[in-house]
Amino acid sequence: MTIHFYKYQGTGNDFIMVDNRKKVIDLNNISQESIENICDRHMGIGADGFILLNEKEGYDFEMGYYNSDGNLSTMCGNGGRCLVAFAKHLDIITDSAHFLAIDGEHHATIHNNIVSLEMKDVENIKSFETFYQLDTGSPHYVSFVDDVEDINVAQDGELIRNSPMFKEEGINVNFVQENNDSSLYVRTYERGVEDETLSCGTGVTACALVQMQRKNIDSVHIETLGGDLTVSATMEGKTFTNVLLQGTATFVFEGHIDL
């Protein structure tokens, strides 16, 4: 089977996109191994994830997201932002989108290549002695450190992700350096990729919400290895609503590949 793909990246988090409105791909004709192979950076196209843009009644589209290991995954914030840019390229939307993902419905706006994506409400941030734990569409571990450059993210992230507390479900691991109250530098180990990525949308959202709770603020600028993002939210008691993840989403190239 030959598929027409598009590649997009959001602050270095890169994705292979397929317009699947005509159901070219379904679970019966693509395997986990096939997705893993095309996401491979040496033997395939190379990407952190694989995304299907599906039709869905009542929505502009539906997001089907797979990690680079080929497994169906939970929400991906940067992937969602890139999918909005892809939908605009396909003339499905103009400057706003209403779509369905695995964690529920999302709204987004796009102006030039800046996508602002509404994330799920977050109701519970668990605080432990050395880290925080929360779910922003995907589960996250957030640890504040003095200098993220001193952290071996791949090694330390893997140990935490596979620790007895998290091994069964898996968790994304974020190491956070506080530049000031409203600015953070974040590096993330992503489950499913099983390595550090240049950026993680649900991860920076998680880090920003923790910082908002710590400092009683409503917006945080995030620096990642792949670029800058902004997260804003409304804090009502211990619940965060109107959570917005904003940053660039950029077309890279398109082509065809045989599966």
Whether residue 234 is found in the same domain as residue 132? yes
Whether residue 33 is found in the same domain as residue 111? yes
Whether residue 109 is found in the same domain as residue 130? no
Domain that holds residue 87: 2-118+249-258
CATH number of the domain to which 33 belongs: 3.10.310.10
Whether residue 206 is found in the same domain as residue 221? yes
Judge whether 76 counts as a catalytic residue.
yes
Band (pLDDT 50/70/90 cuts) for residue 24 is: confident
pLDDT in tens, 89-118: 999 999 999 999 999 999 999 999 999 999
Judge whether 39 counts as a catalytic residue.
no
Q: How many domains does the chain have?
A: 2
CB atoms under 10 Å from CB of 168, counted, come to 6
Band (pLDDT 50/70/90 cuts) for residue 27 is: low
Whether residue 240 is found in the same domain as residue 228? yes
71 has pLDDT over 70: yes
pLDDT in tens, 139-167: 999 999 999 999 999 999 999 999 999 99
pLDDT in tens, 204-230: 999 999 999 999 999 999 999 999 999
- pLDDT recorded at residue 1: 83
Whether residue 105 is found in the same domain as residue 140? no
Whether residue 152 is found in the same domain as residue 237? yes
Whether residue 139 is found in the same domain as residue 217? yes
Catalytically annotated residue among 39, 76, 82, 207 = 76
The residue to which tokens 């986990």 are assigned: 32
Q: What is the mean pLDDT of residues 20-41?
A: 89
Whether residue 133 is found in the same domain as residue 234? yes
Catalytically annotated residue among 39, 82, 200, 207 = 200
29 has pLDDT over 80: no
Q: Which of 173, 182, 181 is nearest to 228 (CA)?
A: 182
Whether residue 81 is found in the same domain as residue 142? no
Whether residue 104 is found in the same domain as residue 186? no
Task: State what percent of residues in the chain have pLDDT above 90.
Answer: 93
Find the angle CA(11)-CA(15)-CA(19) to the nearest 5 degrees.
130
Whether residue 140 is found in the same domain as residue 81? no
Band (pLDDT 50/70/90 cuts) for residue 26 is: confident
